[in-house]
Chain A
Amino acid sequence: MPIETIIGAWVATGLTLFIFSFLYKDNPLFKLAENLYVGVSVGYTIVKTYDTVIVHLIWTPIVKNGEWALLIPVSIGMLMLTRYVPKAAWLSRYAFAFIVGVGSGLAIPRVISSYILKQIEDTVRPLLVMVPGEGLSFTWNLLNPASSLNTIIILIGVSSVLFYFFFSVEHTGLGKVVARTGILFLMIAFGAAFGYTVMARMSLLIGRLTDLIEFTDLSYGRPSLWLLGLTILTLVVMSRRASHKPEEE
């Protein structure tokens, strides 16, 4: 195994354990890893931006292909950076005005088409479905998302949740019933999201532990085991030192 991979395995394991040490409590090892993380990712972003934007999107097209029109976005970008020059900071407004203006303009028709028309189109369905051999009938199958029963449930769900977020109408009488239905639907959806989020977080943990298990291998020099011991030792020493000043969790 190449030496840089072995060193890499040790570094990666160490940093992973430093962050896991937050579970014990907020400590210097965690803070060190956290700041290292921010620093490295900012550095990474800057390098990538330089390589992609300056080299491939600006320099090559302008200098080699003579696409001088690209000086316009470059100058708009420069205007954005005037924000750091207090006297000229107002110039950055031009850049933001342009970006926000274009963004808003682009968003309006696309949002209407994708999130309003498309969603209405799929909700508005006939309640009776053609069943081969039976003709027009009401289907009760819950597992078929296109069945009549599910069409009604979806219609009720969409309408009641929409109604729940009405703010210029008092929720009384029939409105109260609809709003209550809406909140129940909302809670079920939140429950589904909850379940899925639990799944996601557990997957992340599984992924990290898989890597740690890989690094217990002898070919890496078992960094996981050694560093685990070392991290625990450091935490113990640190908490001993701070023990005269007891702190909760």
Chain B
Amino acid sequence: MRVERQGWKTSVLLLMAVLIQPGSPVFAQYQDQTKTTLSPPQDIRAFDTPSDGGDSVTLIWAPAAYDSAATKYQILLSEGSAVDPAAMKVVAEFPANQHYVRESKWPWWTRPAAGDQHQFTLRNGRGVELKSGTAYSITVAAVLSDDRGIGMPVRVTPQPNWINWNQINNLVLALLFGGIVLYAIGRARTKEIFLRRIPGLDAVDEAIGRATELGKPILYLTGAHDMSDPSTIAAAVILGRVAKRTAAYETELLVPHRDPMTMAVCQEITKQAYLEAGKPDLYKDDSNFFITSDQFSYTAAVDGIMLRKKPAANFFMGAYFAEALLLTETGASTGAIQIAGTDSDHQLPFFVTTCDYTLIGEELYAASAYLSREPVQVGTLLGQDIGKGLILCILVAGTALATLGALLGAQWPQLFLDVFKDVK
């Protein structure tokens, strides 16, 4: 990897030059050898395109009276400091009513000229090869049938840049949101954070209560993923809560697994829960058991358990795939209360229609954070809430400002709106 320190300095200097004194090149008219009636483009400025890798240059020139679809602009380029425009190569041609600064995607903080000016960015590729660090002469010509008015050539050297200023809003947002998350986690470590009660958790208690009344077991599934997946971790945390209740009510708990590692972790959690409920003697190691890792064989086996043991309540927490429907349908046919919680959005519709209660997406994490009170989990949740709140405000304020802008025909709302655009 070659690092060009020199290039870095020059590019910064050049950038400053562009920012500080726009339009420094000499503006002059250039008369073509042939007699023309078309006046050459005025106020031509050329500079290294800021915020790029050094393979393009940008031209700015003033609009003219003849700007229309019939007239064409040509971009002329040559290496070195050619003075004879006839020797310059035509590298682009387009109708004269196109390529205004306002059409470009530049946000206000990098826009090099007023919106009514013409703008053209000449890039590497398609027959043009711009080398960074090489000096070029470039100019614009206006063409109408045989008439040609050629502007004064300007010198320009493309340079690589170290920062893409067009994306600076992205960076600011990343830093802001990163700061919020870290702050929220820090806060959760020292203070108690309010989390609203997730209604699904009440349903959990209710279901366990009913199972006790009926004297039937409870079935709990932790999903298809292993312990490295956040949804499985959440499922394991909620299992702790369920196990505590089943211990207290002395109800049988069945937890069939698809992953041996997850089973080992869940055994620990269940044991701990029975201990905390003061019923360690009731704990059975084989309430957590491994079936198989094959998707459909596992499903068939669990369906078999549902039909034979007729659990009063089925819990489906964690990540699920196509097997979800096969499980919940069988569960529904046995008349069990079914409670699901998953972030697998493609299976959510099926859970909602076949289960009595469903924790949707992030609700699963929230439920787990609510139960575990673990600072990193709670803090992340709070951080995300703040982030969502900010976005909500931006949406509402932005719509209001955009409407106001349309009503008044004003440009100033863009000062706000551009910040929340992806402008590259």
Contacts and interface: CB of A to CB of B under 8 A. Distances in A.
Contact flag (A, B; Cβ within 8 A)? yes
26 contacts: A22-B300, A26-B296, A109-B170, A113-B422, A117-B169, A120-B421, A121-B421, A121-B422, A125-B399, A126-B403, A130-B406, A136-B407, A151-B399, A159-B395, A163-B388, A163-B392, A165-B363, A166-B196, A167-B362, A167-B366, A168-B193, A168-B381, A169-B196, A191-B349, A248-B308, A249-B307
Interface string A191-214: 101100100000000000000000
Interface residues of B, number: 58
A117 B196 contact: no
Contact of B389 (A109, A114, A166): A166
Interface in B340-368: 345-346, 348-350, 352-353, 360-363, 366
Nearest to A171: B196
A138 B194 CA distance: 42
Given A112-B170, A197-B349, 18 more contacts: A22-B300, A26-B296, A38-B294, A108-B178, A112-B173, A117-B420, A120-B391, A120-B420, A155-B395, A162-B388, A162-B391, A165-B362, A166-B196, A168-B195, A186-B360, A191-B349, A193-B348, A194-B353
Interface in A153-181: 155, 158-159, 162-163, 165-171
Contacts of B3: none
A197 B346 contact: yes
B207 interface: no
A127 interface: yes
* Residue of A30, A121, A165 ringed by the most chain B CB atoms within 10 A: A165
Contacts of B405: 126
Contacts of A163: 388, 392
Q: Main SS of chain A's interface residues?
A: helix
A187 B352 contact: yes
Given A109-B170, A109-B174, A169 B385 contact: yes
B299 to A, nearest CB: 9
Contacts of B163: none
Contact of B402 (A26, A124, A193): A124
Contacts of A171: 196
What 4 A-B pairs have minimum CB-CB distances, sorted nearest first? A124-B398, A26-B300, A126-B406, A194-B349
A170 B353 contact: no
B396 A159 contact: yes
Contact of B352 (A126, A136, A159, A190): A190
Q: Main SS of chain B's interface residues?
A: helix
A128 B297 contact: no
A228 B363 CA distance: 47
A31 to B, nearest CB: 6
Contact of B170 (A38, A117, A123, A170): A117
Interface in A78-112: 108-109, 112
B332 interface: no
B171 interface: yes
Interface string B198-226: 10000000000000000000000000000
Given A109-B167, A168-B195, A162 B294 contact: no
Given A127-B399, A162-B392, A168 B363 contact: no
A118 interface: yes
B51 to A, nearest CB: 14
A97 to B, nearest CB: 14
A168 B394 contact: no
A158 B350 CA distance: 23
Contacts of A34: 294, 296-297
B403 A127 contact: yes
Contacts of B336: none
B382 interface: yes
B417 interface: yes
A22 B177 CA distance: 49
B336 to A, nearest CB: 15
A167 B196 contact: yes
* Residue of A114, A124, A158, A191 ringed by the most chain B CB atoms within 10 A: A124
A132 to B, nearest CB: 15
Interface in A29-68: 30-31, 34-35, 38
Contact of B195 (A113, A158, A167, A190): A167
Nearest to B398: A124
A165 B388 contact: yes
Contacts of A193: 345-346, 348-349
A116 interface: yes
